[in-house]
Amino acid sequence: MFLNSTAHALTPEQKQKAIVYSDTIIDLKDDEPSLYERLTNCPAEITELNQLCNDYLQYLENLYTRLNGDIVLHFPIGSPVFNALFFLHLNREKFQIRIVFSHTERVSVDERQPDGSIIKRAVFKFVKFIEI
């Protein structure tokens, strides 16, 4: 199962690449809305961040057990501190999930305005998943 736990919906290009990992794609926001909400609005206190990390790891461990280890986790979510805690506490020997990150490239687009001026806008285009 490909679990999109990022704060963004997968683009059509990402979905096409995710199917290589698994035919089943699930969004964390649909599977565990309350956990998703907490992750997208991370607390500022370390004790609360540790609890959130433990709750997220417990969710993943339950999913891992239910699916016999077949999880590809699309990451990141939460604050940089949460991400550091997640990798600090993740036991990859016990819990052999695959983790992928989206790699994008920034493309500048010039948008001509009615007054003749130009506004540069950065568009991020998905390139591939990078697995760690």
Residues counted in the chain = 132
Alpha carbon 109 to its chain's center:
26
**pLDDT (0 to 100) of residue 92:** 72
Among 6, 1, 4, which residue's Cα sits nearest to residue 76? 6
Domain residue spans of the chain: 2-131
Q: What is the pLDDT along the chain (132 residues), one digit of tens a residue?
A: 999 999 999 999 999 999 999 999 999 999 999 999 999 999 999 999 999 999 999 999 999 999 888 899 999 998 999 999 999 999 877 788 899 999 999 988 899 999 999 999 988 899 999 999
Q: Which DSSP string do the residues of 30-99 spell out, in sequence order? A: HH-HHHHHHHHT--SSHHHHHHHHHHHHHHHHHHHHHTTT--EEE---S-HHHHHHHHHH--TTT---EE
Alpha-carbon gap, residue 36 to 33, rounded angstroms: 5
**pLDDT (0 to 100) of residue 117:** 94
For 13-47, the pLDDT digits (tens) are 999 999 999 999 999 999 999 999 999 999 999 99
Q: In this structure, how many other beta carbons lie within 10 angstroms of the beta carbon of residue 116?
A: 6
